[in-house]
Chains A and B, each alone.
Chain A
Amino acid sequence: MMLFSKHLKSFVAAVFGIALCAHGAQAPQHININQLSTTVEDVVVPLPNEIFGALNKLGSVNWKEHVRSDKGPNFTERPRIALLLGTVIADGFIAVQAEDAPTVKEIGQRVLALAKGIGVGNSITPHAKAIIEAADKRNWENVRQELDRTQNSVQQAMNEVHDEKLSQLVSLGGWLRGTEVLTSVVKQHFSADGAELLHQPDLLAYFQTRLKAMPEFNLPIIHQIQDALVEVKPLIDVGSAHIPAESVKKVNEITSRLGNGIVTRD
């Protein structure tokens, strides 16, 4: 993914042009963020396991109860397949956390089938094979790496054929499933630090912007996600305040509803 907002160019040059000179000068201790663009474009969307890793450090999580291996329906609409693919990859990360080899192997096969459904199966075949082999050996680190590679290869293949919007839906599907599980875990054993992991307003704004630019994907699930993100925004965009248990519960309800919508035929 080629990153970086064009909007940032001039702002950054202005802010830093004088402050930092060549020859590795000391970085300024403070910069004026307001002079940077407020848009979040071309951000690298965190993988679910990035969030799960932070969750693990807060206390032990019973990942087994979050494992999901339903095959789900076979959609024909490419945006729906892309969303589902993102959630299935996220399910792969959950199964890795739970060290559930049979589910990881099923997910490897499912990922391949979905990738074929949107015409990028060829780039995924070696990764799906590697996922299954690593799961057989219970080499969880390799499974994690292959899941990341899978998502990256899917998205690169989509970008190459100018299907960037589908690529963004893969990320969105993964983010929604990750958020659903995050809120489910934090809801069960609430802590301020756990709830703080939901503080992702710029990421949410990024997805909102992307969805707005997809009017051609006129599907109920896309509209439901758009509406849901509007509902979620005030719950997680709280500045330096704490996110209360009630908000975590609400975000969980919303993302669970969307999660069901993504895996269920209309």
Chain B
Amino acid sequence: MNRFAKILLRASSLLAAVVVMERTSFASVDDAQSFALQAAEPYVKQGFQVREDYWGGDLASGEKKAVRQQLFKGNEYWFWLGTEVDRAKVSVHIYDSDGKLAEEPDSWEKGHFAAAHVIPKTTGSYFIIVSVEESPEERTHWALVYGFR
């Protein structure tokens, strides 16, 4: 390889490293929220009102978090989870106050998006469990939004 090519290769590697570092350093829960909202988009057309408020943070691979949320019988809810790390795999599941899986069978996981659908049988507290199943990053930002109709 001639000298010019070597310099070019090194410069491109350096540039690539800087770009990767920048993405890692500046990625945030807000980015994750954008992805969660992206997952929610098709449901808005079906009449779901997506809340402005959301949950967020970062998790290591295999780590899980839970949040308790008040749900009302008569409403129908979707919870959408997203991360900006596109090679990550995430999941979200919903349990009732007795610890029984409460989600509908159409809940789904697709790489760095996941969604859980619940039609509460009773009004009360439910547990939403989010998880980063797999990720190339040490810590993976995540955000969870929800909508109802």
A202 and B70 contact, CB distance less than 8 A: yes
B99 and A9 contact, CB distance less than 8 A: no
User: Which of A21, A46, A141 is within 8 Å of B70, CB to CB?
Assistant: A46
A70 CB, nearest partner CB in chain B, Å: 27
User: Which residues 33-75 of A sit at the B interface, judged by CB distance below 8 A?
Assistant: 33, 36, 40, 42-44, 46-47, 49-51, 53-55, 57-58
Q: Smallest CB-CB separation from B126: which chain A residue?
A: A202
B68 and A16 contact, CB distance less than 8 A: no
Instruction: Say whether B51 faces chain A, with CB atoms less than 8 Å apart.
Output: yes
| Per-residue contact bits, chain B 1-21, to A (CB 8 Å; 1 contact, 0 not) | 000000000000000000000
Interface size class, chain A: 35 or more
B44 CB, nearest partner CB in chain A, Å: 10
A12 to B66, CA, bound (A): 7
A24 to B93, CA, bound (A): 11
A22 and B127 contact, CB distance less than 8 A: no
Q: Smallest CB-CB separation from A33: which chain B residue?
A: B99
A12 and B65 contact, CB distance less than 8 A: yes
Instruction: Say whether B98 faces chain A, with CB atoms less than 8 Å apart.
Output: yes
B74 and A193 contact, CB distance less than 8 A: yes
User: Which of A4, A22, A57, A201 is within 8 Å of B67, CB to CB?
Assistant: A4
Residues of B within 8 Å of A197, CB to CB, are 72-74, 123
**Tally of contact residues, B, Cβ under 8 A:** 46
A50 and B74 contact, CB distance less than 8 A: no
A55 to B73, CA, bound (A): 9
Q: Smallest CB-CB separation from B107: which chain A residue?
A: A27
B64 and A16 contact, CB distance less than 8 A: yes
A23 and B68 contact, CB distance less than 8 A: no
B-side binding surface: helix, strand, loop or mixed? strand
Residues of A within 8 Å of B98, CB to CB, are 33
A137 to B131, CA, bound (A): 42
User: Which residues 113-144 of B sit at the A interface, judged by CB distance below 8 A?
Assistant: 122-125, 127, 129, 131, 133-134
Q: Smallest CB-CB separation from A34: which chain B residue?
A: B99
Residues of B within 8 Å of A53, CB to CB, are 72, 74-75, 148-149
A33 to B51, CA, bound (A): 26
Residues of B within 8 Å of A240, CB to CB, are 122
A31 and B72 contact, CB distance less than 8 A: no
B134 and A23 contact, CB distance less than 8 A: yes
Which of A109-117, A145-153, A254-262 participates in binding chain B?
A145-153
Residues of B within 8 Å of A12, CB to CB, are 64-66, 129
A152 and B53 contact, CB distance less than 8 A: yes
A209 CB, nearest partner CB in chain B, Å: 13
Residues of A within 8 Å of B56, CB to CB, are 2-3
A33 and B95 contact, CB distance less than 8 A: yes
Instruction: Say whether A196 faces chain B, with CB atoms less than 8 Å apart.
Output: yes
Residues of A within 8 Å of B131, CB to CB, are 16, 20
Which 5 interchain pairs have the tightest Cβ spacing? A54-B74, A3-B55, A152-B52, A33-B99, A54-B72
Could you list 17 examples of A-B contacts with CB < 8 Å? Answer: A12-B129, A17-B62, A17-B64, A20-B133, A22-B61, A23-B89, A27-B93, A33-B95, A33-B97, A40-B125, A42-B67, A53-B74, A54-B73, A57-B74, A152-B52, A196-B122, A200-B70
Residue numbers of B with Cβ under 8 A of A are 29, 49, 51-57, 61-70, 72-75, 89, 91, 93, 95, 97-101, 103, 109, 122-125, 127, 129, 131, 133-134, 146, 148-149
Residue numbers of A with Cβ under 8 A of B are 1-5, 8-9, 11-13, 16-17, 20-25, 27-33, 36, 40, 42-44, 46-47, 49-51, 53-55, 57-58, 141, 144-145, 148-149, 151-152, 155, 193, 196-203, 240
Known A23-B89, A141-B49; 9 more pairs at CB < 8 Å: A2-B29, A44-B146, A53-B72, A53-B148, A54-B73, A57-B74, A57-B75, A200-B124, A202-B70
